[in-house]
Amino acid sequence: MSLTAYRTLGTSGLRVSPLALGAMTFDDGSWGSTPEASFAILERYLDAGGNFIDTANQYNGGKSEETLGRYFGKQPSRRDRIVLATKFGGTLHPTDPNAGGAGRKAIHAQLDESLRRLNTDYIDLYWMHQWDRHTPIEETMSTLDDLVRTGKIRAVGVSNTPAWWVGQAVGIARSRGWESLAALQVEYSLLTRTPEGEQFGAARALGLGVTPWSPLASGVLSGKYSRKVRSVEDSSRAGYAAPQLTESTFVLLEVLAEIAAEHRTAVAAVALAWVRQRSEVTSTLIGARTIEQLNANLASADLSLEQQEIDRLAALTEPVLEYPMNVIRSFGLGFQQGDTTINGVNSTAFARA
């Protein structure tokens, strides 16, 4: 496995690397990476064969997109050789009710602003950043279809969106001949596994790609925390990381460290490889503020975990899924098919305890 082991993204024809570079940390240096450090991170990722870069209009008030735009201005030949993704939905004008969300007016305005900041005339993958409860699905999907037809965007995806909305959107788009969804972007890691229920189920049923974000759980699984190192020094991460530093997490970190030592690699590489080797996952988003962090993450592309290692880690963080997945799991296949074998799947008859 390497960054050049490209995969098609869901129902699209886009070929993407198994690790995508998330640009959320690209900034003016006040919070994340300076533009110069961001350029170095981009060069390292692209030189290693990576081709999938992900950002959003709202990341750092637009500074992430601006940093990428400055890079493309310096390296124009690289723009067409990458799959560039950004997101709409987050408002940059808090007093304007039409500046955010997934309505037609908002989408057009947000896309034009993103294109200007990114210094490009098209987006390869345009994500809806979050479900908009106020806008009809038909308005959102028809608008995105129009933009694909004009060439401003090439493919469509959604992030942080209920599975029922995803299914409805795909059904409407396919029935009307509109551009449909290609992929889902979901929070997924060894510490956040509830997407294995509805979100992964929708992806499998509809043929959608999956790109996990925060696969290191806001840095908790990066290797910098242990029973001896429990404090979160980065105040911007404290609200996300601190609540997850529990006894069960420290047990998981110890097993990750043990497996990492056996493979002579970093804890982060093992945690990322576990996510990457999930069958539903197409490309995993990695982020970095420094070249050192990026190199540790890139190492996961060359790591292949044994099935027993995957199972061992999975057993430590078995998710509690919401209804109806919890009932379906507790009943098992035997509730329907008894002691028979169907399509090669064996089962034992369900017996109420």
Residues recognised as catalytic: 59
Asked whether the CA dihedral 112, 114, 117, 119 is positive or negative, the reply is: negative
SS3 86: strand
**Separation between Cα atoms, residue 158 and residue 181, nearest integer Å:** 7
Start-to-end C-alpha separation, the chain: 45
Cα–Cα distance, 339 to 316 (Å, whole number) = 30
The residues that bridge with 155 in the sheet, in sequence order, are none
For residue 212, say if its preceding peptide bond is cis, omega within 30 degrees of 0: no
- Exposure string of 64-85, with b = 16+ CB inside 10 Å and e = fewer, is bbbbbbbbbeeeeeebeebbbb
Q: Distance (Å, rounded) from C-alpha 30 to C-alpha 289?
A: 12
Tell me which residue of 67, 17, 175, 168 sits closest to 158, measured CA to CA.
168
What is the number of other CB atoms lying within 10 angstroms of the CB of residue 95? 6
Listed residue (23, 3, 12) closest to 287, CA to CA: 23
The number of residues in the chain equals 353
| Buried residues in 26-62 as b, exposed as e (16+ CB within 10 A) | bbeeeebbebebbbebbebbbebebbbbbbbbbbbeb
Of the candidates 138, 217, 209, 190, the one whose C-alpha atom is nearest the C-alpha of residue 309 is 190
The token duo for 144 is: 């995105």
